[in-house]
Amino acid sequence: MKRMVERLSAVSLSVCFIVALCPIASARQLSPDRRREQITAAEALRRYEERLQTTTEPVLRLNLTTKLAPTALAAGETEKAKAYANSLLQQAANHDCHCNYGDAIHVGNLVLGQIALAADDLPEAKRLLLEAGKSPGSPPLNSFGPNMLLAKDLLARGEREVVIQYFALCARFWELDRGRLEKWKAIVINGGTPNFGANLVYLLSIWQVEDWANPRWR
């Protein structure tokens, strides 16, 4: 029985990993013609919202809201972004055993942190960055790592200590960081800003790599 439970757990994590990375994998496999199809954040938001209206399954709603919050922010819909981020954190509280729970905690707090920073509420932005770092992780977070956009913006405000604290929190779940967090920490300590690369877009820009040519989004 114990061996069966372990196998089921492993299968569950594999499914979560595949589902979470599906948009990225789809984008890589698209033909050149289909890759040219790009839509705006506003259009992506509209399509996500339409799908949310017809989705009743709780976990699927959680997944959609994880996309909706940052997409609304990218579309300039700040109030919607705030509402979706708060909804995301509320939903996450009911799915703390699901593998996407960690993504929800991370994304919800980062979106709210960006909104707080834009409103010049620096203490709240710093608090939310640390809350995002308290995510328990997820298959994508454990592999590709956390999003660093809010951390970079706070560095631009001279807030180095909180970013170093964020690195320490992220180290608890980023299993495949290959020493990047320590390198970034050294750069920050020396007064610089690391080149965060793709970690500036992970999880917050899913709409940019969705396979919008798929009929399900029509």
Categorize the per-residue pLDDT at 21 as very low, low, confident or very high, splitting at 50, 70 and 90. Answer: very low
Q: Average per-residue pLDDT in the chain? A: 86
Which position has the token pair 């599906």?
22
Cβ-proximal residues to 16 (8 Å cutoff; 6+ apart), any chain: 98, 99, 100, 138, 139
The 10s digit of each residue's pLDDT in 153-187 is 999 999 999 999 999 999 999 999 999 999 999 99
The angle formed by the CA atoms of residues 84, 70 and 18, to the nearest 5 degrees, is 100
Q: Which two tokens stand for residue 48?
A: 């996500």
Report the pLDDT value the prediction gives residue 2, as an integer from 0 to 100: 43
The reported pLDDT for the residue numbered 16 is 53
**Dist. CA 198–CA 212, nearest whole Å:** 21
What ranges make up the beta strands (E) of 11-169? none
- Across the range 17-43, mean pLDDT stands at 55
Spell out the domains of the chain, with CATH numbers in brackets: 2-217 (1.25.40)
Q: What is the pLDDT of residues 56-81, one digit of tens each?
A: 999 999 999 999 999 999 999 999 99
- Mean pLDDT is lowest, of 95-99, 160-164, 203-207, for 95-99
**What is the rounded CA–CA span in Å between residue 45 and residue 140?**
22
